[in-house]
A and B are shown apart, each in its own frame.
Chain A
Amino acid sequence: MATQASRITGRLMLSPAVILLLLWMIVPLAMTIYFSLLRFNLLMPGTEAFAGFENYQYFFTDPSFWPALANTLTLLLGVLAITVVGGIGLAVLLDQPMWGQGIVRILVIAPFFVMPSVSALVWKNMLMNPVNGLFAALARGLGLTPVDFFADVPLASIIVIVAWQWLPFATLILLTAMQSLDQEQMEAAEMDGAGWFWRFLHLTLPHLTRAITVVVLIQTIFLLSVFAEILVTTNGGPGTASTTLTFLVYMQSMLQFDVGLGSAGGIVAVILANIVAVFLMRMIGKNLEG
């Protein structure tokens, strides 16, 4: 039905977005790949030289690399486990009839809107601080020794903070999916004498599968880039105890000014994220058909 003229207009309207995104994607990425093959330190300008895959070799043999990779995966899996299990629980709970449902929803969703540096600082200083924090006050009240969270369990503490920020997201999406659950089917099962757990396992969970997959994939994209929470709380330490790949690349390029090494790390991060992205794209693409 589209005429030739409207098709051309359409192309014209589309082109600014396409050209900008094309530039945004290709230019910096090409530069990163190029830098990753150079010996290039901002502190030593003029000494750039082709280095082949030396930077990659350094990056993989850096004593921080394996801990960083392990921390990245621990953070990712820890937050995913908490948010998905907690999100399902909360979605089921909030879907029940109750008084003040709207207000509870608002309370639960709130952490998602708190900027990462604020939530990291609030947790670090006002809740988890071993001297002045509320948890320390509670521990003292119970006659226990307060825990120095960021010294003793840095990664676990960061996982708690990030999970607190993302639990609302998982809950909100799973709750939205819950609301399209076929109520009549649930009632029929109930009348047939199916117990609560049976209904949850055979009706609710299968219905949520798709939403759970979306939650896992989207959170993965964002969680691989967690940055402010680490910068503000532990700065990657103590040692490498809470250094992730993103943070390692940041330290190498912005603090040690080793552009070559940081770029190689950046490319490794891109490849890692792409593996996840392929799955996510397939999910969303399937939805586009309908």
Chain B
Amino acid sequence: MAREVSTGRKALVTAVAWGIGLLIFFPILWTVLTSFKTEGEAVAPHPSFLFFDWTLENYETVNARSDYLLHFWNSVVIALGSTLVGLLIAIPAAWSMAFVPGRRTKDLLMWMLSTKMMPAVGVLVPIYLLARDTGLLDTRVGLVAVLTLVNLPIIVWMLYTYFKEIPGEILEAARMDGASLGSEILYVLTPMAVPGIASTLLLNVILAWNESFWTLNLTAANAAPLTAFIASYSSPEGLFYAKLSAASTMAIAPILILGWFSQKQLVRGLTFGAVK
């Protein structure tokens, strides 16, 4: 039975919800708009909302600085790299816990989760010194390694909750039909696991892209991803609002779009399956 709602009430709810939604979204909208202004208009005492001379010069300026592209590329490599390595390690682990559970599987899962609870600052010094002494400080390889480990528990957990939903009877049926373990994984499990793996990949790329403790502390000029590059704008020099906006817009746009596609997975991934 669908609930009857008066049009008047629906209109009111719509107006309030859109108002609040736009208010929350406003800082992002304002950044995007400012990125199309000239520096002069960006700091005008009476800022204009839409009626200014739209320009792309800030994007050109930011892109012309070759280091912007380097940092963008660093972000891509670090976010994708740590996610793919993480998946490579986590898929077999999650598979085994979901389909060949032992008596200790639950404890193991909880223990993996507990490693995520450790505040980063508690291991900042040793990780920094280890990275320095192994020459991995300010390298993409070093950051990929650290972020892989930081997010591995979330990857394992997400995959586990997805794999858990694949009915075990299908595997038994395949086994009775004489499928070997290899073909069982390849032809039966993989097709069913692909959506779960894809969601995990998406969420983890977002988390790694925005990770801001290790990326800020372990990088300098060479391997700094966008998080660290943009943080370096924190001491303003001259007129830079419009360029800052352009750099920011480019840094958040890809993830914003990915994020909107992954709303559902976000809930599951970030609550470790406690809310679905």
Bound CA span A105–B1, Å: 25
When the two chains form their complex, are residues B24 and A111 in contact, meaning their CB atoms are under 8 A apart? yes
A164 CA to B15 CA in the complex, in Å?
A: 21
Closest to B253 in A: A113
Of all chain B residues, which has the CB nearest A219? B270
**A144 on interface, CB distance cutoff 8 Å:** no
B81 lies within 8 A of chain A by Cβ = no
The number of chain A residues with a CB under 8 A from chain B is 110
Q: Are B25 and A32 in contact (CB under 8 A)?
A: no
Chain A, range 132-168, C-beta contacts under 8 Å to B: 132, 134, 137, 140-141, 164, 167-168
Confirm or deny: B173 has a beta carbon within 8 angstroms of a beta carbon on chain A.
no
Minimal beta-carbon separation of A252 from chain B (angstroms): 9
Asked if B270 and A169 make an inter-chain contact with CB atoms under 8 angstroms apart, the answer reads yes
B25 and A108 within 8 A (CB): yes
Binds A, one of B54-62, B187-195, B208-216: B208-216
CA gap between A16 and B266 in the complex, in Å: 26
Task: Kindly report which residue of chain B lies nearest to residue A175, judged by CB atoms.
Answer: B267
B14 to chain A: closest residue by CB:
A98
Contact B93 A14 (CB under 8 A): yes
Known A-B contacts A115-B212, A281-B110; the reply to A263 vs B125 at CB < 8 A is: yes
Q: Are A250 and B230 in contact (CB under 8 A)?
A: no
User: Does A273 contact B119, Cβ atoms closer than 8 Å?
Assistant: yes
Q: Mark B257-272, 1 if CB is under 8 A from A, else 0.
A: 0111001101100111
Which residue of chain B has the shortest Cβ distance to A260 in the bound complex?
Answer: B125
Q: B82 at the A/B interface (Cβ < 8 Å)?
A: no
Interface of chain B, helix or strand or loop or mixed? helix
With contacts A172-B267, A285-B110 taken as known, whether A225 is within 8 angstroms of B231 at the C-beta atoms is no
Q: Would A288 and B109 be within 8 Å (CB), given that A25-B118, A266-B121, A273-B118 are in contact?
A: yes
**A197 CB-CB contact with B under 8 Å:** no
B119, A125: Cβ atoms under 8 Å? no
Per the 8 Å Cβ criterion, residues 195-212 of B in contact with A are 206, 209-210, 212
Among B97, B130, B216, B267, contact of A227 (Cβ-Cβ < 8 Å)? B216
* A121 touches which of B120, B206, B216, B230 (Cβ 8 Å): B230
CA distance A272 to B236 in the complex (A): 36
Q: B113-162: which residues lie under 8 A (CB-CB) from chain A?
A: 113-130, 149, 152-153, 156
Q: Across the interface, do A97 and B236 meet the contact criterion of CB distance under 8 Å?
A: no
The 7 closest A-B pairs by CB, nearest first: A13-B92, A10-B100, A31-B126, A113-B259, A277-B117, A28-B123, A17-B93
12 more A-B contacts (CB under 8 A) besides A14-B108, A21-B152, A32-B125?
A6-B181, A17-B93, A24-B115, A106-B260, A108-B21, A111-B28, A113-B210, A176-B275, A227-B216, A233-B234, A281-B114, A285-B110
A sample of 13 inter-chain contacts (CB < 8 A) reads A7-B102, A28-B130, A97-B13, A110-B28, A115-B230, A115-B255, A118-B251, A126-B34, A211-B275, A221-B117, A250-B124, A254-B217, A266-B125
A interface, CB within 8 angstroms of B? 1-2, 5-7, 9-11, 13-14, 16-18, 20-21, 24-25, 27-29, 31-32, 35, 90, 93-94, 96-101, 103-127, 132, 134, 137, 140-141, 164, 167-169, 172-173, 176-177, 183, 187, 210-211, 214, 218, 221, 224-225, 227-228, 231-233, 245-246, 249-250, 253-254, 259, 262-263, 265-267, 269-270, 272-274, 276-277, 280-281, 283-285, 287-288
